[in-house]
Amino acid sequence: MNIDINFLGILIGAIMASSVPLILAALGELITERSGVLNLGVEGMMIIGAISGFALMVITDNLFLAIIGSMLSGLLLSFIFGFLTQSLLTNHVATGLALTIFGIGLSAMIGKDFVGIPGKQFPLLFVNLKEAIPFFGPIFFGHSIVFYFAFLLPFGTNYFLKKTKIGLIVRAVGDSPVSAANQGINVLLVRYCCILYGGAMCGLGGAYLSLIYTPQWIENMTAGRGWIALALVVFATWSPLKVLVGAIIFGGITILQLHMQAMGIRIPVQFLSALPYIMTIVVLVIISRDSRKIKLNTPTSLGQIFYKEK
Amino acid sequence: MYKYFLRLLASVLLLLGFSINAHAEFKVGFVYVGPTGDHGWTYQHDEGRKAVEAAGIKTTYVESVPEGADAERVIRQLAQSGHDLIFTTSFGYMDPTNKVAKDFPNVKFEHATGYKREHSNVSTYSARFYEGRTLLGHMAGKMTKTNVIGYIASFPIPEVIRGINAMTLAAQKVNPNIKTKIVWVFTWYDPGKESEAAQALIDQGADIIMQHTDSTAPVQVAEKAGVWSFGQASDMQRFAPKSILTSIIDDWAPYYVERSIAARDGTWKQQDTWHGLKEGMVAMAPYNSAMGSGLVKEVEKLQKDLASGKAHSFTGPIYDQQGNLLVAEGKVADDGMLAGMSVYVKGVEGDIPK
């Protein structure tokens, strides 16, 4: 194979596109977890986002509505989770798992009539520049608006958590809800907002799959990406920028191993299939081995039930 | 205690009444591995079921049944509720089907794509999809400009390897320079991964994309990239109207109707069926006119010859990758060899995953 520079650019562009759903879902979950709530329903919210987005696209023929609808449906599902864990004080882990199972089942039921309908081409931006500039063109241009949003989001999230007052409040609630409550912060409100935001982002991540990446609806089409996103948050030690690195490595090796197969490199295929998982963990463990920094980022009250003493 | 007994009696009577009632009418049950709307494998089986229904026989089906313990429960349930003939339509139902068949000697069972017939009331059936692959190979060999054919493969089982070999042999016959590049995705069904695999193959120079997986994602990628592709299991033409040259279609309907009528009339016998283009179990979707009327005529002729037995997908001489002779000149591979095929023929790149 002859590696020409433009091909390399196309490859990098493809890798970045494949990591978009992971970035969105993981960063949504990151905010939820930073407020001290562990929502294991990521996969369920993603798949609901995927089917709602696709169904709305078919019914209304409007991609903007479809994107908004997918976020709202993820938000709605996370509201159920929020109500159960925050207002009824149920266990986070059990409720989250139930949410995933519920989401997968519900999406299959809604999706019954939408199987086998071809999707619509999502508008891509800067297509001219993609062709015009070698190497950098295919990396940075000719993508959907959601793609650009996803790659700005880690920086925005980082800024939000570190530099803004509301970010500080979210972190305070996650570290010590009791102290935060004593400071007059409405812990429930903050946590509800973070849960709903997480749900909306997961819904968007799912819609990216069904509307942009592989424009169609197929049962269980998220295929475990929600779980990968959850793992990314933990291995990235709750740091938005490391989530970005992890998502790109995972997407990158998934695609590279397919290319290596197509090139005929003689490595056992099963090993290549396992490689994305192994490499992502290894790299994230290496870049986050500073235990002091981990402590700084880990929400101390993660997954604990909080109720206000009267 | 008395109350409990009464309740038990009532339920026994109810069950009895139900089973007597159920046996009054001949019924056929179907077990599907996916949803009936998957637009691929299960969709085609359900089309077959509808044909049985149209022939005046009552049918029921259970969809999205996972292979394994659940399958046995579902098959047993169908057998208990008065079904006289049960079709189990996925490879992984092989052992559960035989297990249940042992306990219900009066119920007939038909298992798709398997090879175990442990009891006299179990038949097996499958289709010679590889004949379709031969036609695809002929078209691919003629249509490719880069001489690279991309093939998305699911699992390294004889069925899949047979398809790869049949396609490669046919393509070599019309174009000795072609190479078959294969990507194994280890799934039947993951649109994200299937489309990434298709993209990887296109990036590696393939201008023909072929799949042995069930989603329509690869043909959509091919459409976008402007290369040729082929549909799988059902006609996928509307997902990639420009790119698709044809689709291999599984047509189970005639077989299902024939076997259901035989079971109803008491002429059903255990058998192992392997039908192809001749019987119509494998059919081809309309050919894309973009490949030119000359080529369409050629392929139609080849299709006729394969159906009549004048041509065979595996006609010697056939060599494996190391150059060992598999089938001698002038001979054709027998069904035993085809059923257990586990090596690539010459011209395929890479190794079969073990």
Minimum Cα–Cα distance from B200: chain A residue: A259
Residue B71's pLDDT is what?
93
Contact list in A for residue B186 (CB cut-off 8 A) is 269-270, 273
Residue A44 tokens, joined: 């369920």
Residue B11's pLDDT is what?
61
Within A35-164, residue ranges assigned H as helices are 42-60, 63-82, 92-111, 127-132, 136-140, 145-163
B142: buried, middle or exposed (CB in 10 Å: 19+, 13-18, 0-12)? middle
Architecture of B129-249+284-339 per CATH? 3-Layer(aba) Sandwich (3.40)
The tokens 């398997």 sit on which residue? B114
Residue B271 tokens, joined: 């058998």
| Nearest-angstrom CA–CA distance, B110 and B125 | 7
How close B63 comes to chain A (CA, Å)? 12
Instruction: Say if the Cβ atoms of A259 and B200 lie within 8 Å.
Output: yes
Cβ neighbours of B58 (radius 10 Å): 14
Instruction: Say if the Cβ atoms of B201 and A262 lie within 8 Å.
Output: yes
A123 touches chain B (CB under 8 A): no
Residue B199 tokens, joined: 């993209």
| Nearest-angstrom CA–CA distance, B256 and A27 | 51
B6: buried, middle or exposed (CB in 10 Å: 19+, 13-18, 0-12)? exposed
Instruction: Say if the Cβ atoms of B183 and A254 lie within 8 Å.
Output: no
With an 8 Å Cβ cutoff, the interface of chain B facing chain A consists of 34-35, 37-39, 43, 64, 150, 181-187, 189-193, 195-197, 199-201, 203-204, 206, 215-217, 220, 238-239, 349-351, 353-354
Q: Which residues pair with B244 in a beta bridge?
A: B229
**pLDDT digits 0-9 by tens, B208-262:** 999 998 888 899 899 989 999 999 888 888 889 999 999 999 999 999 999 999 9
CB proximity list for B167: less than 8 A, separation 6 or greater = B133, B134, B136, B137, B140, B149, B151, B180, B210
Residue B70's pLDDT is what?
87
**Nearest partner of A23 among A4, A41, A42, A48, judged by Cα:** A42
| CATH topology agreement for domains B2-127 and B129-249+284-339 | yes
Task: Give mean pLDDT, residues A49-66.
Answer: 95
Contact list in B for residue A14 (CB cut-off 8 A) is 196, 199, 203
Minimum Cα–Cα distance from A259: chain B residue: B200
Residue A1's pLDDT is what?
45
Q: Which of A127, A211, A218, A259 should one mutate to test binding to chain B, selecting the residue with the greatest count of B CBs within 10 A?
A: A218
Q: CA angle, B104 as apex, B102 and B106 as ends, to 5°?
A: 120
How close B277 comes to chain A (CA, Å)? 26
Q: What is the 3-state secondary structure (H, E, C) of B152-176?
A: EECCCCHHHHHHHHHHHHHHHHHCC
Contact between A197 and A28 (Cβ < 8 Å):
yes
| Nearest-angstrom CA–CA distance, A15 and A18 | 5
Pick out chain B residues at pLDDT < 50. Answer: 20-22
State which CATH number among 3.40.1360.10, 2.60.40.2550, 3.40.50.2300, 3.40.50.12160 fits the domain covering B2-127: 3.40.50.2300
Minimum Cα–Cα distance from B156: chain A residue: A269
Domain ranges of chain B: 2-127, 129-249+284-339
Task: Give mean pLDDT, residues A14-23.
Answer: 93
pTM for this predicted structure: 0.77
| Nearest-angstrom CA–CA distance, B293 and B290 | 8
Contact between B234 and B228 (Cβ < 8 Å):
no
List all residues of chain A from 269 to 298 with a beta carbon under 8 Å from chain B. 269-270, 273
The tokens 């879902």 sit on which residue? A25
How close A285 comes to chain B (CA, Å)? 26
Instruction: Say if the Cβ atoms of A115 and B39 lie within 8 Å.
Output: yes
Residue A229's pLDDT is what?
94
How close B221 comes to chain A (CA, Å)? 8
Is ipTM > 0.85 here?
no
Q: How confident is the model at residue A276 (pLDDT cuts 50, 70, 90)?
A: confident
Contact list in B for residue A266 (CB cut-off 8 A) is 350-351
Q: What are phi and psi of A262, to 5 degrees?
A: -65, -30
